[in-house]
Amino acid sequence: MTLHKIGFIGLGLIGGSIAKRLKQLHEGLSIIATAGHASTVREAHAQGLIENDTPCGIDDFYDCDYIFLCAPVQKNIEYLHQLHGHIGPQCIITDVGSVKSDIHRAVTALGLGRQFIGGHPMAGSEKTGLSSAKDYLLENAYYIITPTAQSDEAKIADFRALVRSLGAIPMILDYEQHDYATAAISHLPHVIAYSLVNLVRTHDDKDQTMRTIAAGGFKDITRIASSSPVMWENICLSNREPLLALIDRYMELLGDTRAAIDRKDGAALMEAFTAAKDYRDSITIPQKGVLNRVYELYLDLLDEAGGIATVATILASNNLSIKNIGIIHNREFEDGVLRLELYDEASLHTAVELLKKHHYHVYQR
């Protein structure tokens, strides 16, 4: 596929990561961009990522092969209206939003069905902005593609090839199917995470005991609450109906669990927890997703001088680098007193074998 010019409207974590990867792949590719902050455009130009050093006007996007809408969901729809009548006949507009119904309805109303292919890369992190963008961010991540009824098959095939070139795994879905699925596996978890954090925030004591001892399960389930509040306000309001339906169903299930606890029904709790565990254990978690996989292990360690240094020496003598290390103060959800994080899966497996050979009791999550 030969690409000549690609435009980005919004150049944050996702847009910036796609732009960086495309710049690597296509020598001589011209990339232009506009963004909500002129400083983002200047930063991208200083990095050699884009051609312009001030935000582009709408007419500048006319001869692009692709235009990526990478602003918040509702802003993307505003830009779609501005682009109407200002793009060439061969240009394909796509977006990276995690809600598809609203923008597909807008595309239909504007008569842009032949020039729009929706997209949603299932990658990212709680960090935002161009400074957090990485050229490898989309590697091994699912990239949902939502064509319109008028999308040309050849154009869809070209876009799938572009997605594969980013290192992502393309998956074609109907936009309504996409929105219901992502409401369950992405949007509802964020709502739950924000709510749980606010529960602890408003019910902690004056000594902040809950905050002090927070670990394990709490940190795992609430990590995504550090994501952009602006983005998630947009997502919740844009995917309102599927999300409300699933919140209602979740509250019913939570009510069932509460009722079982209230009546001391251990059998009901065991059945629900076992079913959830079995299903969760059957899910293969890709290395890249909303949050990157963490290669970590835990081990028991006696409280003695030089204990941590001995472990570090064992690993270093075998050319293994430690990414992070720490003592676990609350091990309600984790075995082992010492937590080690390695850089990759191979290093993790080697570290486990080495430490076991040295008679350490090692735990993996």
276 backbone dihedrals φ, ψ, rounded to 5°: -65, -45
Question: How many CB atoms neighbour CB 325 within 10 A?
Answer: 13
Q: Is 77 left (phi over 0), alpha (psi -120 to 50) or beta?
A: alpha
The pLDDT value recorded for residue 287 is 47
The pLDDT value recorded for residue 125 is 61
Binned at pLDDT 50, 70 and 90, residue 336 comes out as low
* Ordered alpha helix ranges (H), 223-316: 229-238, 240-262, 266-281, 307-316
The pLDDT value recorded for residue 331 is 44
- Closest by Cα among 290, 291, 289, 299 to 322: 299
Per-residue pLDDT of 78-130, as tens digits, reads: 999 999 999 999 999 999 998 999 999 999 999 999 999 999 998 876 567 88
Binned at pLDDT 50, 70 and 90, residue 10 comes out as very high
Assess whether pLDDT exceeds 70 at residue 63. yes
**Is 363:336 a contact under the CB 8 Å cutoff?**
yes
Q: Which CATH architecture has domain 178-281?
A: Orthogonal Bundle (1.10)
User: CA-CA distance, 172 to 186, in Å (whole number)?
Assistant: 18
| Residue that wins the pLDDT comparison between 247 and 140 | 247
Binned at pLDDT 50, 70 and 90, residue 244 comes out as very high
The pLDDT value recorded for residue 285 is 54
CATH fold of 5-175, please?
Rossmann fold (3.40.50)
Name, in order, each residue with C-beta under 8 angstroms of 296's C-beta and a sequence gap of 6 or more. Answer: 339, 340, 341, 342, 348, 364, 365
Per-residue pLDDT of 284-315, as tens digits, reads: 555 444 445 678 888 887 656 788 899 999 99
Per-residue pLDDT of 69-91, as tens digits, reads: 999 888 999 999 999 999 999 99
| Residue that wins the pLDDT comparison between 217 and 250 | 250
Q: Which two tokens stand for residue 180?
A: 């219901």
295 backbone dihedrals φ, ψ, rounded to 5°: -95, 90
Domain 178-281 shares a fold with domain 295-363: no
Judged by average pLDDT, the poorest of 158-162, 218-222, 231-235, 288-292 is 288-292
List 321's β-bridge partners, or say none. Answer: none
Assess whether pLDDT exceeds 70 at residue 44. yes
**Mean pLDDT, residues 256-278:** 94
The b/e string for 233-265 (b: 16+ C-beta within 10 A; e otherwise) is ebbbebbeebbeebbeeeeeeeeeeeebeeeee
User: CA-CA distance, 137 to 129, in Å (whole number)?
Assistant: 13
Assess whether pLDDT exceeds 70 at residue 215. no
The pLDDT mean for the chain works out to: 88
| Domain ranges, ordered by start, for the chain | 5-175, 178-281, 295-363
Residue in this structure with the two tokens 């010492």, named with its chain if needed: 338
pTM value is: 0.71
Determine what percent of the chain is predicted with pLDDT higher than 90: 63
Binned at pLDDT 50, 70 and 90, residue 218 comes out as confident
The pLDDT value recorded for residue 122 is 86
Q: Which CATH architecture has domain 295-363?
A: 2-Layer Sandwich (3.30)
Q: Which two tokens stand for residue 130?
A: 């161009």
